[in-house]
Amino acid sequence: MRVLVTYGSKRGGTEGIARQVAEVLRGEGLDAEVRPPKEVEDVAAYDAVIVGGALYANRWYRLARRFVHRHAGVLREKPVWFFSSGPLDSSAVEGEIAPTHQVQALMEQVGARGHMTFGGRLEANAKGFIARAMAREHTGDWRDSGHIRRWAGSVAAELKARQEGRPIPVEPPPEARLH
Ligand SMILES: Cc1cc2nc3c(=O)[nH]c(=O)nc-3n(C[C@H](O)[C@H](O)[C@H](O)COP(=O)(O)O)c2cc1C
């Protein structure tokens, strides 16, 4: 099963999450490829798609948004998952953070099967006026690989069940997944 993992990442943090997600999928025997949105030639060639977006002022970074708008017709026909990144604190591992209003609308547009918010990363030397101001208060790498791996594992389990024609596994409640 060919899975596309694509991302809209301004400063590389979300790209790193996309790479970890794909690594987990490959470990589960799925043929996962990571591609920046602009390098995706044919979405129809994939059996499933995962799209990640960096959150800026509660909205996905534009490359992720544009990818969804541009390919909405094809995405609606496939199993699709979204992830967002992210809060610069431990909130994403303390409880499941719902998609923002805009991300929820994108999910509805393509009938996405699920969403997860992961912690983000902001480096102290971030470029840009607002980012620098923000970095005075919040810096660090809040991406939690356990969190990322658990979620990617649950997506892989569902994809493998589909592939083998088995019933789709039921997700445990968030508390069970986090501890
Ligand atoms: C100007 C600015 C605005 C941000 N707005 C949000 C936000 O609304 N919600 C959030 O959870 N994180 C927010 N963040 C944190 C980023 O989402 C986090 O740094 C993320 O990891 C960036 O991903 P990237 O490295 O892939 O661009 C913001 C960061 C900056 C610099």
Burial 94-115 (b: 16+ CB within 10 A, else e): eeebebbebbeebbeebebebb
**86: preceding bond cis by omega (within 30 degrees):** yes
Q: Which atom of ligand 1 is nearest to the CA of 16?
A: 26
Domain hosting residue 87, numbered range: 2-177
pTM comes to 0.94
CA distance 109 to 127: 33
Q: What is the CATH number of the domain that holds 12?
A: 3.40.50.360
Q: Is-contact 129 135, C-beta < 8 A?
A: no
Q: Is-contact 136 111, C-beta < 8 A?
A: no
Tell me how long the chain is. 179
Q: Is-contact 42 88, C-beta < 8 A?
A: no
Q: Whose CA is nearest to atom 20 of ligand 1?
A: 120
C-beta of 98 in contact with ligand 1 (< 6 A): no
Name the domain count of the chain.
1
C-beta of 134 in contact with ligand 1 (< 6 A): yes
pLDDT in 10s for each residue of the chain, 179 residues: 999 999 999 999 999 999 999 999 999 999 999 999 999 989 999 999 999 999 999 999 999 999 999 999 999 999 999 999 999 999 999 999 999 999 999 999 999 999 999 999 999 888 888 888 888 888 899 999 999 999 999 999 999 999 888 888 776 655 544 43
